[in-house]
Amino acid sequence: MVIQTISLVIQDPPDMNLQDFLKADMLVPKKLLHEMRMSKKVTVNDDHPLWTKPLQSGDRITLPIFPERVEPQATAMPVDVLAEDEHLLIVNKKAGVDTHPSSETDHLSLSNGVAYYFQQTNIQAKVRHTHRLDKDTSGCILFAKHAMSGAILDKLLAERKIKRTYLALVEGIMKTKQGTIEKSIGKDRHHAQRRRISPSGQRAVTHFKVIKEFSSENLTLVELHLDTGRTHQIRVHLSSIGHPLFGDTLYGAKNKYHRHSLHAWKLAVPHPFNDSTITAEAPLPKDFGPAKLSLT
């Protein structure tokens, strides 16, 4: 799915000129906006526009998509595509894989695999992940296919319009079956990789609901929604109420396992260029928890 231009029709006059509209409404970055102007490829109603002229209802704007160098380095690996169109891509990440390269010599991240997918499907774009997942967290990750899509998706995420649903297997039987954890999170001065509850940290809000209990194993399956996206937010919040993720020894789990049991289950993304919503669901992987549990 490769596109070279984006066409938009102005429905309600935005009371601004073309340049201000692209900056304010379309979130075109300054460098890209300059490139568009210099290219002479932007048109309004199929004509070269006067950039300072106010836009009118019914105006049709056509914007170029510039080819980019595909980066990071492409690595041939399977990529499990859950949803896709010309502007975005949703991929199911396996546990044990980094979202992006951890160093200059790391070429085995999901982003390296998506770069290969871009090459194979003739998408000439930098790999842009809108959000990320911890290495041992599996599930849905959203990528943009070009710079304009990336800018808009970043804003939608910041405005909490992209809805993410997680599943977690936690230690202990949760007495409270549904609720909200609102505790600020900051860095742990004594451990570079850890985060901790901190009154001076960033505001963090997690909503949870118990889905299933496993009394004999002393484990609970929980559904979670986030109002914020802090580093290790779910892991820190659940640990703070005495229910660390199964296998998450960094945050106090008693059970050792090759991964922590957190999965980005569902993703609902408002489309960056129309009124539709793109949805995806990543099935629970077989290694999500102990093999003897029936999680469905």
Phi, psi of 145 (to 5 degrees): -100, -5
Predicted TM-score of the model (pTM): 0.92
| Residue-level pLDDT at 190 | 87
| Residue-level pLDDT at 20 | 93
7-11, 130-134, 165-169: range with lowest mean pLDDT: 7-11
Tell me if residue 112 falls in helix, strand or coil.
helix
Instruction: Look at residues 238, 257, 237 and name the one whose alpha carbon lies nearest to residue 246.
Output: 257
Question: Does pLDDT of 296 surpass 80?
Answer: no
Buried b (16+ CB within 10 A) or exposed e, 111-126: bbbbbbbbeeeebebb
235 within 8 A of 247, measured Cβ to Cβ: no
DSSP-derived pairing of the beta strands 219-226 and 262-270: unpaired
| Element of type H or E holding 91 | strand 88-93
Sign, CA dihedral 115-119-121-126, equals positive
Residue by residue, DSSP assigns 116-133 as HHHHHTT--S--EESS--
Q: What is the mean pLDDT of residues 131-151?
A: 95
Measured between alpha carbons, how far is 245 from 225 in angstroms, rounded to an integer?
Answer: 16
Tokens 């809000």: give the residue.
205
| Domains in the chain, CATH or no CATH each | 5-64 (3.10.290.10), 80-161 (3.30.2350.10), 165-264 (3.30.2350.10)
Q: Determine what percent of the chain is predicted with pLDDT higher than 90.
A: 86
Measured between alpha carbons, how far is 15 from 36 in angstroms, rounded to an integer?
Answer: 21
| Element of type H or E holding 239 | helix 233-240
Instruction: Look at residues 147, 103, 111, 112 and name the one whose alpha carbon lies nearest to residue 131.
Output: 111
> 68-92: per-residue pLDDT in tens?
999 999 999 999 999 999 999 999 9
Q: What is the mean pLDDT of the chain?
A: 94
Measured between alpha carbons, how far is 42 from 25 in angstroms, rounded to an integer?
Answer: 16
**Residues annotated as part of the active site:** 134
Question: Does pLDDT of 1 surpass 70?
Answer: no
Instruction: Look at residues 188, 183, 177, 205 and name the one whose alpha carbon lies nearest to residue 251.
Output: 188
Question: Does pLDDT of 131 surpass 90?
Answer: yes
Question: Does pLDDT of 294 surpass 80?
Answer: no
Measured between alpha carbons, how far is 289 from 211 in angstroms, rounded to an integer?
Answer: 15
